């Protein structure tokens, strides 16, 4: 019998991972106009029926909810109303001349050289377009004259969509349970679960606490790389970010010796064949990737149907 999980070391090394989400952002009419005009060194603001002027431009008033009556050009100058330092940069609120809200942006000065009420002026980056970073930041400008809000006689077409991406880097610690599971996948090409309390069936992935009995799990158990489909869905539509070519089957599989479901894929040649052969109760076998294993679930390339 395999040892209890608490005999496995807990000071395991972490591994670097990331969440990377590319997508397109729809800015809307106001923000789209603001972003289209920054290449012309113009700060577009919204003017509402109340007389309130807000920069950058907004589609609706934050106080009354009404739509703007016009887009206008805000001046490049204003006063500093608040500031702080974040990750080595100074970030501040700027009340642009003639506007009724604060414009958050970088301040191009040292913290000790700043004071509330100080006059500032926008500094531009000619290499940037269609981004608020076309305004590099605001720099102290004690002699800058008071600016005025001007009407916009002509405007660029608002941007419809913007390519965008969010990336989050982090260090992930497996711990003694997932650590042993992925080590066994990499080194021995086998699945290791932990026994439920008072039972010989295994929970996979392994965990410290049984989520049904709410008590500590037992000893390790090696599960087979064969199993039974308990639920499945045929994927026949391509979507953005998909890594596999359709059609394929997304399946929930209970491996022999386990009591919980593993989610993986089954590649298919045709929809007709899949409808006939793949369903709850179908027996399947893991197909391991060729070459060096990495200690990941992706070390299983796919599952295949066990022909009777």
Which of 103, 138, 160 represents a domain boundary (last residue)? 160
In this model, does residue 35 exceed pLDDT 80? yes
Same domain, 150 and 180: no
- pTM strictly above 0.75: no
Which of 160, 185, 220 represents a domain boundary (last residue)? 160
Confidence of residue 241 (pLDDT cuts 50, 70, 90): low
Same domain, 86 and 206: no
Confidence of residue 53 (pLDDT cuts 50, 70, 90): very high
Which of 111, 137, 160 represents a domain boundary (last residue)? 160
> Which is more confidently placed, 16 or 182?
182
Same domain, 183 and 262: yes
Same domain, 96 and 45: yes
Confidence of residue 14 (pLDDT cuts 50, 70, 90): confident
Domain membership of residue 81 (yes or no) is yes
In this model, does residue 222 exceed pLDDT 80? yes
Question: Which tokens belong to 111?
Answer: 């913290």
Same domain, 41 and 10: no
- Residue 59's domain spans which residues? 27-160
Q: Are 280 and 230 in contact (CB under 8 A)?
A: yes
**Other Cβ atoms closer than 10 A to 7:** 11
**Other Cβ atoms closer than 10 A to 59:** 14
Domain membership of residue 21 (yes or no) is no
Q: Are 192 and 181 in contact (CB under 8 A)?
A: yes
Domain membership of residue 22 (yes or no) is no
Q: Are 77 and 147 in contact (CB under 8 A)?
A: yes
Domain membership of residue 84 (yes or no) is yes
Inter-CA distances, 5 with 40, 208, 220, Å? 63, 8, 7
Same domain, 45 and 102: yes
Confidence of residue 83 (pLDDT cuts 50, 70, 90): very high
Same domain, 133 and 69: yes
Mean pLDDT of 231-254: 82
Q: Are 229 and 253 in contact (CB under 8 A)?
A: yes
Q: What confidence score (pLDDT) does residue 13 get?
A: 67
Domain membership of residue 247 (yes or no) is yes
Domain membership of residue 110 (yes or no) is yes
Same domain, 154 and 176: no
Domain membership of residue 137 (yes or no) is yes
For the chain, how many structural domains are there in total?
Answer: 2
> Which is more confidently placed, 186 or 119?
119
Same domain, 43 and 138: yes
Domain membership of residue 165 (yes or no) is no
Q: What confidence score (pLDDT) does residue 226 get?
A: 92
Same domain, 114 and 42: yes
Same domain, 268 and 291: yes
The three-class DSSP label of residue 34 is helix
Mean pLDDT of 115-140: 94
Same domain, 209 and 234: yes
Q: Are 227 and 208 in contact (CB under 8 A)?
A: no
Question: Which tokens belong to 307?
Answer: 């022909």
């Amino acid at each position: 019998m395999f040892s209890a999980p608490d005999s496995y070391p807990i000071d395991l090394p972490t591994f670097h991972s990331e969440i990377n989400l590319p997508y397109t952002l729809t800015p809307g009419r106001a923000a789209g106009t603001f972003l289209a005009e920054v290449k012309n060194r113009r700060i577009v603001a919204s003017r509402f029926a109340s007389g309130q002027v807000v920069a950058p431009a907004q589609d609706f008033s934050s106080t009354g909810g009404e739509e703007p009556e016009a887009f206008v050009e805000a001046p490049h100058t204003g006063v500093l109303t608040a500031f702080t330092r974040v990750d080595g940069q100074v970030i501040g609120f700027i009340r642009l001349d003639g506007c009724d809200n604060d414009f958050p942006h970088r301040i191009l000065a040292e913290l000790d050289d700043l004071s509330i009420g100080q006059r500032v002026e926008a500094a531009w980056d000619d290499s940037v377009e269609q981004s608020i970073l076309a305004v590099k930041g605001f720099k102290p400008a004690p002699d800058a004259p008071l600016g005025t809000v001007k009407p916009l006689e002509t405007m660029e077409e608002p941007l419809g969509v913007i390519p965008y991406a969010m990336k989050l880097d982090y260090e992930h610690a497996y711990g003694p349970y997932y650590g042993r599971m992925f080590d066994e996948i990499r080194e021995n090409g086998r699945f290791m679960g932990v026994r439920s309390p008072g039972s010989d069936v295994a929970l996979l992935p392994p965990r410290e606490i049984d989520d049904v009995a709410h008590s500590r799990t037992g000893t390790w158990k090696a599960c087979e790389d064969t199993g039974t489909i308990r639920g499945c869905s045929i994927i026949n539509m391509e979507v953005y970010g998909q890594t596999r070519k359709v059609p394929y089957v997304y399946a929930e599989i209970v491996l022999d010796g386990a009591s919980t479901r593993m989610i993986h894929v089954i590649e298919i040649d045709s929809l007709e064949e899949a409808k006939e052969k793949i369903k709850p109760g179908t027996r399947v076998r893991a197909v391991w990737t060729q070459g060096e294993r990495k200690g990941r679930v992706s070390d299983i390339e796919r599952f295949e149907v066990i022909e009777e």
